[in-house]
Amino acid sequence: MKLFMSIDQITRGHVIANCLEGRCTVQQAALRLNLSRRRVQQLKKAFKEKGLAAMLHGNSQRPSAKKTSKEIEQRLLALRSDPALSKSNFLHFHEIVTEEYQLQLSYSTLRRILLSHGICSPKKRRTRKKVHKTRERRACFGELLQVDATPFPWFGGKEKSALHAFIDDARGMITGLYLCKNECLLGYLEVLRQTLENYGLPAALYPDKCSVFFVNAKKQLSIEEQLQGTKEQVTQFGKIIKYLGIDMFPAHSSQAKGRVERLWQTLQSRLPVEFARRHITTIEQANQFLKEYIGIFNKQFGVPACDSYSMFVPTPKTLDLDKLLSSVITRKLSSGSTISIKNHLFKIEQNKFGAGTTVNVLISQKHGIRALIHDTNPTKFTVIETRPKPF
């Protein structure tokens, strides 16, 4: 029987298997999975009996027996619309409907239902001031990767290009380097590809507030917006990271991610020399050399982690990295089987698709431009016209 498991479940199975084989302790497994020691012990016992299937919840694909019925939900909303009850805070309202109207709902269920319908509690909440402390290195390899890119004249002269990098916080080891003309999504996706292929899935990424990672990261949703059900927008990179089950949070200053900032000082001093020694003068040549240089750097500057346990989880073989690690642009086919992208007109060679058919255009540094229709194999296309940009 095939097991259809999420990445989180695969990750949990990998860590529990490591724990059973003695590669990590119960405490390390609990830290990596954000579980209690007792729960890890339970999972170890279940894994021995059922194998990887033990990571699936017993109620998978079963409707919850505790699901609130539509009738109760409608009655709750009707009571909330009563002018006498509409101004009560959620906790008070819960007490009233439980004691006087015999609606047997937990507070969390009541709150979830009201928030999902845009009803917020009038009770005021204080925002607490954040206390910033000096941050030590993370204990485990793969626990946190610092992320950044920097423009610099890597080949000498005045022309700058942007080097993208991931560096492990615990060991100071580079997991990926990629050079592009500018700081961009495609560059970060290639660094992510190197990390996934050579190391696996890290626990968390720590970038700055660049728009590649976050939509308007400086503005946080207000309490009113959160209570009204407003959701934060997510970038393409953010969606990919969420799909992979990797945590990501922004640094609020360059000092906060000092590991990668110091990396730039080292690379800006060394790489131009290495490029000149090898007569490397193009971005393509540089990226080929950087694959080799990562090992050179890590051997020279990498340090042992405080804890020998690695939090990297092997990348599932079922993942299609070529498709996942691409910038996606959606277009509709015209009646002439063409699509337009940035003043370029593309002709789909197969004429069996009608006007209005959705075309997902995948763009990556590795494969260039590919067109997918109905998420099948790439469809052949040709550039038939390049339109001049408007003045």
At 40-65, the pLDDT tens digits run 999 999 898 888 887 877 666 666 67
Give 245's pLDDT tier (boundaries 50, 70, 90). Answer: very high
Query: Residue 255 pLDDT more than 90?
Result: no
Give the pLDDT of residue 231: 66
Higher pLDDT, 389 or 281: 281
Specify the long-range contacts of residues 154-160, CB closer than 8 Å, at least 24 apart: 154/179, 154/271, 154/272, 154/275, 154/286, 155/272, 155/275, 155/280, 155/281, 155/282, 155/286, 156/272, 156/276
* 8-state DSSP, 221: P
Structural tokens at position 390: 């408007």
pTM to 2 decimals?
A: 0.66
Rg for the chain, CA atoms, rounded: 26
Pair (150, 293) in one structural domain = yes
User: Within this chain, do residues 196 and 51 fall inside the same structural domain, yes or no?
Assistant: no
Same structural domain, 226 and 374: no
N residues, the chain:
391
Cα–Cα distance for residue pair 345/359, rounded to 1 Å: 14
Mean pLDDT of 322-336: 81
Q: What angle do CA 7, 12, 14 make, to 5 degrees?
A: 95
pLDDT category, 351, cuts 50, 70, 90?
low
Q: In a 3-state reduction of DSSP, which class is residue 247? A: strand
Do 34 and 78 sit in the same domain of this protein?
no
Q: Answer whether residue 205 shows pLDDT above 90.
A: yes
Residues 199 and 293 grouped into a single domain = yes
Looking at the fold, whether 164 and 290 belong to one and the same domain comes out as yes
Percent of the chain scored above 90 by pLDDT?
40
Q: Does 123 reside within a domain?
A: no
**Residues 51 and 77 placed together within one structural domain of the fold:** no
For residues 337 and 369, the answer to whether their CB atoms sit within 8 Å is no
Average pLDDT, stretch 268-287? 91
What local confidence, expressed as pLDDT, does residue 190 receive?
A: 95
Whether residues 283 and 370 fall in one domain: no
User: Has residue 276 been placed in a domain?
Assistant: yes
Residues 161 and 273 in one domain: yes
243 assigned to some structural domain: yes
In this structure, the answer to whether residues 297 and 351 fall within a common structural domain is: no
Taking CA atoms, 174 is separated from 309, 315, 350, in Å, by: 18, 18, 44
Per-residue pLDDT, averaged over 7-33, amounts to 90
pLDDT in tens, 98-122: 888 888 888 898 889 898 888 887 7
Residue 369 included in any domain: yes
Tell me which residue range forms the domain holding 158.
145-301
Task: Confirm whether 307 is domain-assigned.
Answer: no
Residue 387 structure tokens: 């339109």
**Domain total of the chain:** 4
Query: Is residue 133 situated within a structural domain?
Result: no
Q: pLDDT: is 97 or 4 the higher one? A: 97
Question: Regarding predicted confidence, which is higher, 152 or 376?
Answer: 152
More confident residue, 124 or 231: 231
The CATH number linked to 209 is 3.30.420.10
Within 13 Å, how many C-alpha atoms sit on residue 187's CB side? 24
Angstrom distance (rounded) from CA 54 to CA 191: 34
Burial 111-140 (b: 16+ CB within 10 A, else e): bebbbeeebbbeeeeeeeeeeeeeeebbbb
Stretch 7-36: mean pLDDT, rounded?
90
Q: Are residues 190 and 94 in the same domain?
A: no
Flag the least confident range among 119-133, 196-210, 245-259, 326-340.
119-133
Distance, in Å, from the CA atom of 367 to the CA atom of 348, rounded to the nearest integer, reads 18
d(CA 41, CA 36): 9
- CA nearest neighbour of 151 among 305, 268, 290: 268
- Give pLDDT, residue 391: 43
> Is the pLDDT reported for residue 352 higher than 70?
no
pLDDT class for 217, splitting at 50, 70, 90? low
Q: What is the DSSP letter of 257?
A: G
| Per-residue model confidence as pLDDT tens digits over 153-175 | 999 888 999 999 999 999 999 99
pLDDT at 66: 72
pLDDT tier for residue 347 given thresholds of 50, 70 and 90? confident
The DSSP element (H or E) to which 165 belongs, if any, is: strand 161-168
Res 378: pLDDT: 65
Mean pLDDT of the chain: 84
Same domain, 182 and 224: yes
Q: How far apart are CA 79 and CA 86, in angstroms?
A: 8
Which residue carries 């709150």 as its tokens?
Answer: 111
E strand or H helix at 49: helix 37-50
238-247 average pLDDT score: 94
* H-run or E-run covering 112: helix 107-116
